[in-house]
Structure 1
Amino acid sequence: MHKLQQLKDEQGELSSSDEKKYKALKRATEREILQSADVICCTCVGAGDPRLSNFRFRQVLIDESTQATEPECLIPLVLGVKQVVLVGDHCQLGPVIMCKKAARAGLAQSLFERLVILGVKPFRLQVQYRMHPCLSEFPSNCFYEGTLQNGVTVNERQSSGIDFPWPVPNRPMFFYVQMGVEEISASGTSYLNRTEAANVEKIVTTFLRSGVVPSQIGVITPYEGQRAYIVNYMSRNGSLRQQLYKEIEVASVDSFQGREKDYIILSCVRSNEHQGIGFLNDPRRLNVALTRARYGIVVLGNPKVLSKQPLWNSLLTHYKEHECLVEGPLNNLKQSMVQFQKPKKIYNDRRLFLGGGQGVIQGSAFGTVGSVDKRSGRGKGHPFVPFGPPNGAHKPGVHPSGYPLARMPFPPFPGSPHSQPYAIPTRGSLHGPIGAVPAVPQPVNRNFGAPRANTGGPIGGHLAAHQQNSQQAMGSVGPTYNFAGDPSSQPSGGGLMSQSGLMAQDACPRS
């Protein structure tokens, strides 16, 4: 085979008989390698390769499973699998679905999320090895119920020899107040903000002058129009060598999921009189954006606009409390005195209480999801659950932080509910509530469940009794039940897997 390969490289092609011989030898070699391997690594779609058609795998592990669609995940699972481990973070962005109709129909839900909805309790990796401890504080409290532990110390995340003007020296973060107005980009399908772009260039230049190398800096933004404008602006107006700016990675928040940089600059873009923030409404996108930095983060945005959304209001309050909400020139940053308006209430008075006691008031309607225009802006009423003290005293119907909670269908089941909520995207909207407790579908009850019992039971303790009555095979069509945001019932495909494991990665793995 080696000789035939050499001949092919030299001549460009082989004779018809040699070509047949070469292909036969190649197939035999591939088969021998695959048969002798203990572990075979491939993509989900790659598992459907004809070369693997005669193989049977008892165990399958799918990494980043929350970013794969359900049909993708099913490809390796039909190869005789007896045990499956799904690894991912359903508190971050899910599969990228370009067709909005397909997304609304359910393709945007991953298999990981479906199993959590069906009651399979994930195991969470709780130690993060990426971020400076002060950077992990807000994401931990907001998205992970305060459970994240820091595997790195403050000393390990101090930049020696870097002279950057952080407002609070021991807290490498700040929110830089911007009042520039957004514009629709040339494509007509995105947004840009010239003021923020100009200040991004100034911050990048300051980082470079303070001793940071270009490969350590990442600039992220939710909008392609802003991404393209920042790249163009820095190359034309940067005060340092043009090549330095070209080496800096400027990307969308979505494309940066799973990535990291020492220093992250986040441009929020949205700034308008209508108070719409589009993509920024999605809590999972904010989670991704805030957890990419290792040493420091700078956020640029208009707090008057962003504070209308309760989750962003919480973030701004967090920065303000730590004296990291600033304005003015970079060489003379001062605390901003901007006043936040109270966020709008999204739900009515009938709410779900996640902390125990009365679960759902009978007859309560699902939370509504507002319309979103083609540029994904002007979105109103996206559901979410703001953060609060994980172990505080709970008031029925109200989150510890004082905001109303998202409502999910709660059919009754025996035992105790989950001790910690998990983020489950609801059907009928692309952006699900962070922190919603999964609901277990029942074949008879199509309405809300009975009041919940105590919350002191073991994690997953309620599943034993439920699983006795849930022996459907994977892939069969399960009972129908209502989803938030969609008044009509939709079928739920599949019951609980006989042997399955879900591993919920934290926001900042040691990758």
Structure 2
Amino acid sequence: MCPVKYSHIIARLIAMSRCCKNLVLMGDQMQLSQPIQGSHPKESGLSILDYLLHEQATISDSMGIFLNTTYRMHSNINSLINAAIYEGKLHIDPANDKQSIRILGRHTKTDQQNYLNKDSGIIFVPVSHDGNTQSSTEEVSIIKILFQELIGKIYTDKMGNERPIDMNDILIVAPYNQQVNYLQKALGDKARVGSVDKFQGQEAPIVFLSMCTSDANESPRGIDFVFDIRRINVAISRAKVLAIVVGHPGLLTTRANTPEQMKNINLFSRLVDSSHSFGQAHCKP
């Protein structure tokens, strides 16, 4: 049998199929496909699972097997990913909920707002700014404060072992390279900073996602890129325990031009709602 990654396009599958008796397709089309150079007519440039499943997020029993257990995410993160992305079919390994980060009761320096207000789950930190397209120094400043506060906090893993958080336990993700460069400079060379594409397949107890832009319509590649459901899925699901989304609250009022954009913006809105943090004052560095 020949295992085939989900990113392989149909033309490659046809060529490979002549070399073996059976093909095993493995992957997740709700994450990011590998970039493909060149043009392919009609649907021949789609990934195999995109071609087979089209709009389905999970595979039906008649077509294959859906591996329905995550061994990474705490249920307070998986609950959103499961409901919004995987049709309610993605469950956690019970040991996932033994994971936690002991930070409750500690206040940040961001206008005395306690944004680090839970030991697991999703936190939205609203940072007001205007005119930013692919970078935000305002978000960099807040992320640096929260990053420094998290270093040294106690992480409990799935086995119940405790240890202090260090730089390797935190991923900082941004959609644009300009913001990645600003974050790397602010946090230092040892900080794990990168794009969503860079960190696909990796994991950490804590993940920061910097949204960067003040107005999704004015940003490079527009609404479809900023709110892309697969990019947000990959970014948030890297986190084992805590996903911290830092962004301009005005993004919640973005107007959709298509049903697909409405669906993607709705995922971001659900992410903010799940954090239970939007009622707080906005951070102004």
TM-score by length of 2: 0.76
1:145 to 61, 71, 87: 87
Equivalent pairs counted in the alignment come to 251
Give the counterpart letter for 2:18 in structure 1. Answer: V
Q: What is the distance in 2 between the residues matched to 1:108 and 1:180?
A: 39
1:312 counterpart = 2:249: no
1:176 counterpart = 2:125: yes
> 1:318 Cα shift?
4.9
CA distances 1:80-133 after superposition (whole Å, capped 9, x unpaired):
x2211100001111231255xx2785464112322335x972321111110110
CA distances 1:1-34 after superposition (whole Å, capped 9, x unpaired):
xxxxxxxxxxxxxxxxxxxxxxxxxxxxxxxxxx
Query: Which residue in the other structure is 1:214 paired with?
Result: 167
Larger relative contact order, structure 1 or 2 (CA cutoff 8 Å, min sep 6): 2
Query: Which residue in the other structure is 1:60 paired with?
Result: 2
CA distances 1:303-336 after superposition (whole Å, capped 9, x unpaired):
3224425333444345336523344569xxxxxx
User: Higher Cα Rg: structure 1 or 2?
Assistant: 1
1:231 counterpart = 2:184: yes
Q: What is the distance in 1 between the residues matched to 2:41 and 2:234?
A: 22
Which structure 2 residues correspond to residues 83-162 of structure 1 after superposition, within 5 A?
Answer: 83-98=22-37, 102=39, 106=43, 108-117=45-54, 121-153=63-95, 155-159=97-101
Do the aligned partners of residues 321 and 214 (structure 1) sit closer, same or farther apart at CA in structure 2, a change above 3 Å counting? closer
SS of 1:123's equivalent?
Answer: coil
Structure 2: runs of 5 or more not aligned: 55-59, 108-114, 154-163, 257-261
CA contact (8 A) 1:182 1:272 kept: yes
Structure 1: runs of 5 or more not aligned: 1-58, 185-190, 235-244, 331-511
Query: Which residue in the other structure is 1:293 paired with?
Result: 239
Is the helix fraction higher in 1 or 2?
A: 2
1:265 counterpart = 2:208: yes
1:69 counterpart = 2:9: yes
SS of 1:86's equivalent?
Answer: strand
Q: What is the distance in 2 between the residues matched to 1:293 and 1:181?
A: 29
Q: What is the distance in 2 between the residues matched to 1:322 and 1:214?
A: 24
SS of 2:147's equivalent?
Answer: helix
TM-score by length of 1: 0.44
For the aligned residues, what is the CA RMSD?
A: 3.0
Q: What is the distance in 2 between the residues matched to 1:320 and 1:83?
A: 45
SS of 2:6's equivalent?
Answer: helix
Q: What is the distance in 1 between the residues matched to 2:217 and 2:25?
A: 41
> 1:69 Cα shift?
2.9
CA contact (8 A) 1:133 1:154 kept: yes
SS of 2:139's equivalent?
Answer: helix
> 1:77 Cα shift?
2.4
Identity rate, percent: 21
Query: Which residue in the other structure is 1:377 paired with?
Result: none
CA distances 1:45-97 after superposition (whole Å, capped 9, x unpaired):
xxxxxxxxxxxxxx2122xx222333444453221x22111000011112312
CA distances 1:327-378 after superposition (whole Å, capped 9, x unpaired):
4569xxxxxxxxxxxxxxxxxxxxxxxxxxxxxxxxxxxxxxxxxxxxxxxx
> 1:178 Cα shift?
1.5
CA contact (8 A) 1:217 1:264 kept: yes
